[in-house]
Copies of this chain bind each other. A is one copy, B any other.
Amino acid sequence: MGQAEQKTSRKPRADSLRNREKLLRAARDVFSAGGPEASLEAVARTAGVGIGTLYRHFPTREALFRDVYAHEVDELEALAGATSSAADPVEALRLWLHAAVGMVATKKGMLAALAPAVDSTDPFFAETTSRTRGAVERLMARAVASGAIRDDVSAEDVIRALIGMCYTRDQPGWQPTVLRLLDVFVDGLRTGPKG
């Protein structure tokens, strides 16, 4: 006893896989607009599936949130890869930061509201955090190697600056302001005299 019999299981149903994807896309949109506290029923509505289907795929809000978050980190990494092949390495970094602001819009309230709430030893968040840091490190290494930016600022510093600037994300029209501040910051990173 205790040995569960294992029957050759069927392959997952096609509609199930489709709905999962629809839910993830919808969750990205809805969390983007309303933050991680947004209504799950709104997610289901947006996805065009029943609320029961949402809960079957993602038993808790956290489960859904994590998948969305992991997806965003994937995109950030991919974006870093893409821009890093661009001409000017500093421009690549700048573009990446701008894209990251777009992601913070998606993760509205996420960093402040969830990261501290979750046990920081949580392997999931540790992993995604380090992946993000790695992406920034690669971007910066190129710019430093080319001598375009100073070498005494770490990827963590840049991310911290990014997060800090995004702290105003609750005020209306924050995004253009933050983008401008980031441009100033990037200018500050550049080596050589001004004017």
Point out residues on A near B: beta carbons under 8 Å: 112-113, 116-117, 119, 167-168, 170-171
Smallest Cβ-Cβ distance to A112: which chain B residue: B112
5 more contacts with CB within 8 A, not counting A112-B112, A116-B168, A117-B170, are: A112-B116, A113-B113, A116-B167, A116-B170, A119-B171
Give the residues in chain B near A116, CB-CB below 8 Å: 112, 167-168, 170
Q: How far apart sit A168 and B116, CA to CA, in the bound complex (Å)?
A: 7
Instruction: List 8 contacting pairs A-B, 8 Å CB cutoff, sorted by A.
Output: A112-B112, A112-B116, A113-B113, A116-B167, A116-B168, A116-B170, A117-B170, A119-B171
Give the residues in chain B near A167, CB-CB below 8 Å: 116
Q: How far apart sit A171 and B120, CA to CA, in the bound complex (Å)?
A: 11
Among A112, A117, A168, A170, the one with the most B-chain Cβ atoms within 10 Å of its Cβ is A117
Give the residues in chain B near A117, CB-CB below 8 Å: 170
Q: How far apart sit A136 and B66, CA to CA, in the bound complex (Å)?
A: 41
Give the residues in chain B near A170, CB-CB below 8 Å: 116-117
Min CB distance A81 to B, Å, is: 33
Min CB distance A166 to B, Å, is: 11
